[in-house]
Amino acid sequence: MKSVKTTVWDPAEYLETEEQAIAYLDDIFKSGDPSLIIAAIGDVARARGMSRISGDTKRGRESLYKSLSQSGNPSFETIMKVLSSLGFGLRLAPAP
């Protein structure tokens, strides 16, 4: 029997354009799962360069990695600063 080698899929490796990042975040936001949303914001931040995001937000790089993981619990202020650094904002719309 042949063995199959698997690797962990990292979304950050595939988020090359702003349109891809927006579509990715939009889909994750629709899930309504806070831990997935935080992790997805972290994926986009890693794709754009966590060092730059760290400098923009005045937060430590390692702290951001931890906060923006699926088990992280960042403050709303941190989320807003990271989104702003990524060039994104939040907009409200009626729930479906």
- Decide if pLDDT at 96 tops 80: no
Give me 2's structure tokens. Answer: 């042949």
As a whole number of angstroms, the distance between CA 86 and CA 45 comes to 7
Q: What is the mean pLDDT of residues 40-44?
A: 97
- Neighbour-count burial for 36-67, b at 16+ CB within 10 Å, e otherwise: ebbbbbbbbbbbbebeebbebbebeeeebeeb
69 touches 36 (CB < 8 A): no
Q: What is the pTM of this model?
A: 0.89
3 state SS of 30: helix
As a whole number of angstroms, the distance between CA 64 and CA 45 comes to 9
pLDDT per residue over 65-87, tens digit each?
A: 999 998 999 999 999 999 999 99
